Structure 1
Amino acid sequence: MSELSSRKNRHQKNPKTKWIISGIAAVGVIGLAGYALGSNFYSKHFLPNTQVEAVEISNMSLEQAKKTMADKNKSQTLQLLLDNQVVKEINKTDYGMQADFKDTLKNTLQKQNPWSWGTALFKDNQVKDSTVAYDDTVLNQKLAELKTELEQLNQGRTATQDAQITKDASGFIITNEVVGNTFSVDEALKAIKKDLMNGQTQINLNDYVHQPKVKANDSKLQEQLTALNKIAQITANYAINGTTFQIPNELIADWLTYENKQVTINQEKVQAYVQQLADQYNTSTNPTSFNSTRRGVVSVPAGTLSWSIQVADEAKELANQIMQGQNFTRSPITKGSAKASQPLVGNTYIEVDLTNQHMWYYKDGALVLETDVVTGKPTTPTPKGVDYVWKKERNATLKGTNDDGSKYESPVSYWMPIDWTGVGIHDSDWQPAYGGNLWQTRGSHGCVNTPPSVMAQLYAAVEVGTPVLIF
């Protein structure tokens, strides 16, 4: 009975089970039909989460996608940011962007699997398009215009500067670096062009603000400052004509420059300074102040004993010596019969006073001899100047021309020429007397006529090179 009852119960439940199974089957059929319908839809529409160049075209037909891409293309921009603000928005089409997405859209739609629309709901499908290009002529023209705008944006902003060595009144110092906020226009333009090509939508101009590369505490800069001031603060002396003086340090500092991490000296300024020295000290053009025996301090014109500074050569050597950074005392390079390194006239010299018609010879500051003389007559006066005995000759014959044009020959026992025109000191046995105003009536052709006995002593005592001052 129990078994029979159990069978009966199972038979009573079977209709209900059948209904459940039929329902599940029906749902499955409907689901498959729905998915099939979806697949059919996506055979002509783009799958979910499909983007072309970041433009959303999910569920769109080909024509809808074309229109969307065209509209989006016209509105594509690149924003320029500066200090967290949009300072300009570039329309890419205005900058020559040319894009045709038709083939890309068509190929994307053809290649997609419409049956994969279910899984597409859970993943992105990013499509890159290589057909975006720019008209180079339009692009370059617009970038040139943009450059002007960017330069205007930079106006009023602070330029970044490296710490650098600068000059002040006392020498050279380090000027601190400046952290500025100007951006590099050229670098920004290069990045803008690249971002336009790559489809970017924003660029921050602050990324192209440079930071100082060299700061005030830079060890190399400190070393360069030390080296520069070592040169600027040297003791540079000149010894000229018995006088020693220092070149002012502020003048040397003015000659020095520091560029491209190199210390250089302005050769033109150095040469201008040396020219000033030449103008002031050249004994070939400047008179010599002389403390005479009877007339006190007199001014004696330049004569054969003289020198001239060779300006170009001296400026070059002076600059080279300064750049060595060592203290020095130098005398200038000169040309002439004397040297600038010592007084033109020392303690040994011959003095001829034309006013007093008298001559003295001093050796090492002590008077050796003196005598009255007869100098040139009014028509052939003895030339004034700082001369020197450049030769000594015994038993010479002096030749020349008289005022009337006739020739003369005068033999002398002692001859010491002192200039380049034939003037010298010699004995003159034809003179009856010396001194006074005899030069006005019995004067020479320019030479210094000396009593024979005194001339013999003078000739014996004087050396070639002895200065002769005539005034």
Structure 2
Amino acid sequence: MKKTLITVGSLLLVILVAYGAGIGYYAEKFQANTEFATVDVSNLTLPEAQAKVEEVLLNKEITLTENGQEVGSIGLAELNPTFNTEEALTVTYNSQDPNQWLGNFFQSDEFNADLMSNVEIDQENLNQKLSELGLSNDQRQAPENAQINYSQAEGYTVSEAKDGNQLDIEALRQLILDGIQAGEEKIEINQAFLKPEVTSDDEVIGQYMEQIEQAKDTQITLQIQGEEVVIPAEKIESWIYFDANNQMVFDEAMIQEYVGELNEQYSTFLRPRTFQSTLQGEVTVEPGTLGWSIDREAEAAQIAEDLYSGQDVKRETAVVGTGYNSEGSDIGNTYVEIDIANQTMFIYKDGEQVFQTPVVTGQVGTDTIPGAYAIWDKQENAELRGYNPRTERDYVQPVDYWMPFDDTGQGIHDANWQSSFGGTTYQISGSLGCINTPPEAMATVFELVEVGTPVVVF
């Protein structure tokens, strides 16, 4: 019995000595089964553990692939790393109680430290390595943002955003570092491709398209001499663009072109007219000063203003010239008719003939120029001045009444020097182009005819 007690006591003493030796041993070492960020640092001193962790890190290498094809590999050692692992390892070391060393033989301590947060790499080295692997953006396709496009055939449409293969270099760096940290063997670099900044679903695209649709839906009805013209939506759409501040603008130069198209259809400037004459039936009257056109600048500015307001509108167009009226005829039913062949002047008011008189028109060589004109002035006791090509002399001729109607000097006036009017008088003593009128008739003509009255000469 005594022998047995001695044996047990000796065994306990050995165990105690061994346990104490273990405490002394692990007072300066990591305990058994200790992993620091997947690196086994069991039974290593702090400097030894730091050296091993750094060695493991230096041996880390990651393969880069692009769309499944290998493009190269990068090892951490190539990036000239600087390690700051001592502090994290020290915290781990101090968290272990040497008195508990025996328990670690039966369990493991795993410290999931973020190694890469304690590693600094040389960014220039990484850039150079990426460049060596051809991972620069020099030959790569940039992503394309969704865009609003215009074509005459389709109007405004949205083109979808397109992915490219240019790299977000900063994202690629982080991807590589994260991969090394996570112990990954491969990284797919298309995860670091630059993405389009604007897609077709973005709110800004929707806002622009909504503005365009609202503008297209604005109905502008132009009233032109009794006709109504609704500006087509596709025309409005073609005038839209967005300025540097992304504000919708209507191109007034293009609107002026459209007004010019309307003038080609409706304007009466420089156009022959058919006219129902008193003695000759329907005749063709050559262009003269009578006529109107839509004022391109004023009308374009008004159309743009209407579009900016976004309100439907119906209105008369802005016109320049003479003879415009909503009934569709710039001669109307109040006018002066001068029939050169019959050497007669007729005056009509509201469609009724109110006066008629024989006249003398221009002599051959100084003919009265046919055309549609309008009285633009009325003067009493006037002096007519000009040059007589037949006598090759300047002249001054006083008259009682003067009513000019074109821009070359033609007009209606009394002519007390004429011995007769009508017939063939104009062939031998015709005027220089004016309408010579009997003095006794001229006073009535002057009274009946207002400024602006059309004068039809044929």
Partner residue of 1:146? Answer: 135
Matched, 1:422 2:402: no
Matched, 1:364 2:350: yes
Query: In 2, are the aligned partners of 1:65 and 1:105 still within 8 Å (CA)?
Result: no
Partner residue of 2:173? Answer: 193
Partner residue of 1:376? Answer: 362
Q: 1:105 to 1:211 in 2, by over 3 A?
A: closer
Query: In 1, are the aligned partners of 2:359 and 2:437 still within 8 Å (CA)?
Result: yes
Matched, 1:48 2:52: no
> How much does 1:466 deviate?
0.6
Query: In 2, are the aligned partners of 1:45 and 1:109 still within 8 Å (CA)?
Result: no
SS of residue matched to 1:453: helix
Q: 1:193 to 1:115 in 2, by over 3 A?
A: same
Query: In 2, are the aligned partners of 1:416 and 1:425 still within 8 Å (CA)?
Result: yes
> How much does 1:362 deviate?
1.7
> How much does 1:348 deviate?
0.9
How far does the alpha carbon of each residue in 1:39-69 deviate from its partner, in whole angstroms, 9 at most, with x for none?
A: 5554665433444554333335655862563
In structure 2, what is the Cα distance between the partners aligned to 1:267 and 1:118? 90
Partner residue of 2:454? Answer: 467
Query: Gapped runs of 5+ residues in structure 1?
Result: 1-15
Residue type of the alignment partner of 2:228: T
In structure 2, what is the Cα distance between the partners aligned to 1:311 and 1:206? 57
Q: 1:32 to 1:399 in 2, by over 3 A?
A: same
In structure 2, what is the Cα distance between the partners aligned to 1:100 and 1:90? 21
SS of residue matched to 1:118: helix
- How many corresponding residue pairs? 439
Query: In 2, are the aligned partners of 1:415 and 1:424 still within 8 Å (CA)?
Result: yes
Query: In 2, are the aligned partners of 1:171 and 1:229 still within 8 Å (CA)?
Result: no
TM-score for both structures, normalised by structure 2: 0.74
Alignment of 1:213-252 (within 5 A): 225=210, 229=213, 231-252=215-236
Partner residue of 1:4? Answer: none
> How much does 1:38 deviate?
4.0
Partner residue of 2:76? Answer: 93
Matched, 1:330 2:315: yes
Equivalent position to 1:447, from 408, 414, 434: 434
> How much does 1:185 deviate?
6.1
How far does the alpha carbon of each residue in 1:368-404 deviate from its partner, in whole angstroms, 9 at most, with x for none?
A: 2333322222333323433211222233332322223
Q: 1:64 to 1:26 in 2, by over 3 A?
A: same
Q: 1:48 to 1:297 in 2, by over 3 A?
A: farther
**Root mean square deviation, CA, Å:** 4.7
Query: Gapped runs of 5+ residues in structure 2?
Result: none
- State the percentage of identical aligned residues: 29
Query: In 1, are the aligned partners of 2:335 and 2:456 still within 8 Å (CA)?
Result: yes
How far does the alpha carbon of each residue in 1:400-451 deviate from its partner, in whole angstroms, 9 at most, with x for none?
A: 2222343333332332121344321012222233344433431212211123
In structure 2, what is the Cα distance between the partners aligned to 1:72 and 1:239? 83
In structure 2, what is the Cα distance between the partners aligned to 1:166 and 1:405? 65
Partner residue of 2:42? Answer: 58
Equivalent position to 2:301, from 316, 331, 349: 316
Q: 1:444 to 1:212 in 2, by over 3 A?
A: closer
How far does the alpha carbon of each residue in 1:192-249 deviate from its partner, in whole angstroms, 9 at most, with x for none?
A: 4345556643678669989998869x9x969975x75554245433233454333333
In structure 2, what is the Cα distance between the partners aligned to 1:94 and 1:401? 105
Partner residue of 1:8? Answer: none
Partner residue of 2:10? Answer: 26
Residue type of the alignment partner of 1:239: Q
Equivalent position to 1:392, from 351, 363, 378: 378
In structure 2, what is the Cα distance between the partners aligned to 1:400 and 1:326? 55
TM-score for both structures, normalised by structure 1: 0.73
